[in-house]
Amino acid sequence: MNSKFFDNPALRTKITSANVKPKEMLVGYFLAPMLAMLANSIFGAYLSRYYSDVLGWTKFGAFAALLPIISVVFVVAGNLLIGGWIDKTRTSAGKARPYLILSIPLMAVAIILMFMSPTSGSNIVQMIFIAITYNLYYAVAYPCYYTAHSSMVALSTRNPNQRGILATLSNAAMIAAAGVGASIIVPILLQPVLFVTDEATGVIDIAASYNHWRIVAIVLALVSALGIFMEYLFTRERITEEEAALNIKAEKIPTSKHIAVCTHEKYWWMVILYILIFQLGQLVKNTSMSYYVRWMFDSVLTAGNPETASGALMSTLGLIGGLPSAIGMVIAWPLASKLGKKRAIVVGLIFSLAGGFVSFINIHSFPVVCVGVILKAIGIIPAQYVMLAVLSDVLDHLEAKHGFRSDGFTMSIYGAIMVGLLGLSIGIVNGVLSASGYDATLAKQGAAAEGMIMFVYLMMDMISFAAVIIILWKMDVEKFGDADRKQIIENQKAAVLAEGGVWIEPEERQRLEQEEADRKAEEARIAELKELCKKKGLNFEEEEKKYQEKLAYKKEHPSIITKLLG
């Protein structure tokens, strides 16, 4: 990758502070990723129904179940390739952020093409087009974005408190994207439009639905591009910058060494298996949610327009289930700080496992199922939000032991799990539904299909909770935190002195960097204020006094975010 390209002033980060500040947190790790992942969240909830109910791909037989599953191979390969590139990349923008820029055109093109599949003609041509566009998105475009995106928390700072908050916000962005896309935009505003139902027959109008999906795809492509570019501008890789600031010659570590180091570390396996199993349960549940709401509640089956009725209930269920997640964004990190990350996750999942059984009191009752969903959502709060912080602890532990970081390889595995499992979950849901005799043209599904819908929506995530509890029971990497940070500093000091450099303690480096950033920011602020006063005929001294009074008030009354950042 051409590093000079990123020296362009237009591509410089807007984040200049040595410490993580609210602007970076709220824009770079929440708002921007939420917009970037909005399309993917909608696909997670509705792509399977688009394929089955609009394109009618159940007519392709085993293709419907096998394509997402086989494509996991390509998804993993794509993520590993991007991860390897990240580990070898060094630019003024960092090593992961450049791939955010690269992903913008890839994401836009892939999203649009995925909904341009031919709806008539040869089944073979349709299957080939679907297979190519599906993999263009999930095996090329989204891995390019998501591997870089998921690397940012670990590369942003070594401050454990700030990193924990960024991990919380990063996961909150994904949850918010799912909540806005899968629980508000589609079910409330677009479901009757994207799945147009003929009032006379109750059958989906394929042509109208298809055309509407094409328009929505173009809008989603633009929203994704905007979100990714905002994330690029409002993030910063402080850990990558350490190496450049210390003038340490970067050693190019072969991918095979990264693989060997990671796969011989028990904590690495624990956290990877935790992420894999937990996410599989969540994605299967999310993928099957629209089927459950459409076919399992009596009020929907007897409604005049089932799609409108199911859209309203799905929105309600999604919002009710998402409310604990919204609250969890505030309490997750303080809870994990008090109990410990591992303990908070395990205790929460035990609560979710117990609460999930409430839904089985009456699986056809919307209120009863809602109670079970809410209880599960409360318990998984630590598991959702603390995941990246735990993974970052493992990466620091590996760096302390071996003298180099394996962010690219590890986050490529993380990205492969997060992206590949979506395809796998679609394949699982499509496979069990096809095997059970699911038919979208029926007024009511048969007992076998209902049983499978119940299993994938209510049971799969509970099975994953039990497995994760067992895996994390002896996960104690947190106890090495202080020792790991001390060892990393010793390794850096040795490298600097070996090359004849002058060692400056990290706290002093950060202080000097912050002073320089503050000086430049203050000069720019004063120049802007003088220009504004000149333009509007204001008195500079009076306006400056007002500013200083506001600044003093903020220092005396810090916000919740400022208190959390310390």
DSSP 469-523: HHHHTT--GGGGHHHHHHHHHHHHHHHHHHTT-----HHHHHHHHHHHHHHHHHH
d(CA 101, CA 114): 21
pLDDT digits (tens, 9 = 90+) for 408-438: 888 888 888 877 787 788 778 878 888 888 8
Contacts (Cβ under 8 Å, ≥6 apart) of 40: 142, 177, 422
Please state, in angstroms and as integers, the Cα–Cα distance from residue 51 to each residue in 43, 48, 155, 427, following that order.
Answer: 11, 5, 38, 11
Q: Determine the average pLDDT of the residues in 364-388.
A: 89
pLDDT at 61: 63
Task: Locate 81 and state its tokens.
Answer: 């390739």
d(CA 344, CA 380): 10
pLDDT at 12: 85
Does residue 199 carry a pLDDT above 70? Answer: no
Task: Locate 73 and state its tokens.
Answer: 């191979």
Which pLDDT band, with edges at 50, 70 and 90, does 203 fall under? confident
pLDDT digits (tens, 9 = 90+) for 277-336: 999 998 898 888 888 888 888 777 677 777 777 877 877 877 777 778 778 777 887 888
Q: Return mean pLDDT, the chain.
A: 84
Does residue 564 carry a pLDDT above 60? Answer: no
pLDDT at 251: 66
CA dihedral (165, 167, 169, 175) positive or negative: negative
At 345, is the secondary structure helix, strand, or coil?
Answer: helix
pLDDT at 156: 85
Asked whether the beta carbons of 285 and 461 are under 8 A apart, the reply is: yes
Residue length of the chain:
566
Task: Locate 293 and state its tokens.
Answer: 């709401």
In the chain, the percentage of residues whose pLDDT exceeds 70 is 93
d(CA 392, CA 390): 5
Asked whether the beta carbons of 210 and 119 are under 8 A apart, the reply is: yes
pLDDT digits (tens, 9 = 90+) for 476-503: 888 888 898 888 888 888 877 777 777 8
pLDDT at 106: 96
Which pLDDT band, with edges at 50, 70 and 90, does 88 fall under? confident
pLDDT at 422: 75
pLDDT at 443: 77
pLDDT at 361: 92
pLDDT at 358: 94
pLDDT at 313: 81
Question: 191 versus 135: which is more confidently predicted?
Answer: 135
pLDDT at 265: 92
Which pLDDT band, with edges at 50, 70 and 90, does 59 fall under? low
Question: Across the strands, what pairs with 94?
Answer: 91
DSSP state of 365: -
Counts of helices then strands in the chain (DSSP H, E)? 26, 0
In the chain, the percentage of residues whose pLDDT exceeds 90 is 25
Q: Which of 183-187, 195-199, 384-388 has the lowest mean pLDDT?
A: 183-187
Per-range mean pLDDT, top range of 165-169, 203-207, 342-346: 342-346
Question: Across the strands, what pairs with 197?
Answer: 204
Asked whether the beta carbons of 433 and 452 are under 8 A apart, the reply is: yes
pLDDT at 461: 93
Question: 516 versus 374: which is more confidently predicted?
Answer: 374
Placement of tokens 């999906």 in the chain: 213
Task: Locate 399 and state its tokens.
Answer: 């760096």
Q: Please state the pTM of the whole predicted model.
A: 0.70
pLDDT digits (tens, 9 = 90+) for 250-275: 667 888 888 899 999 999 999 999 99
DSSP state of 304: S
State CA 150 to chain mean position distance: 7
pLDDT at 198: 72
Does residue 397 carry a pLDDT above 60? Answer: yes
119: number of Cβ within 10 Å: 13
pLDDT at 561: 55
Q: Determine the average pLDDT of the residues in 367-392.
A: 89
Nearest to 449 by CA among 463, 428, 435, 460: 435
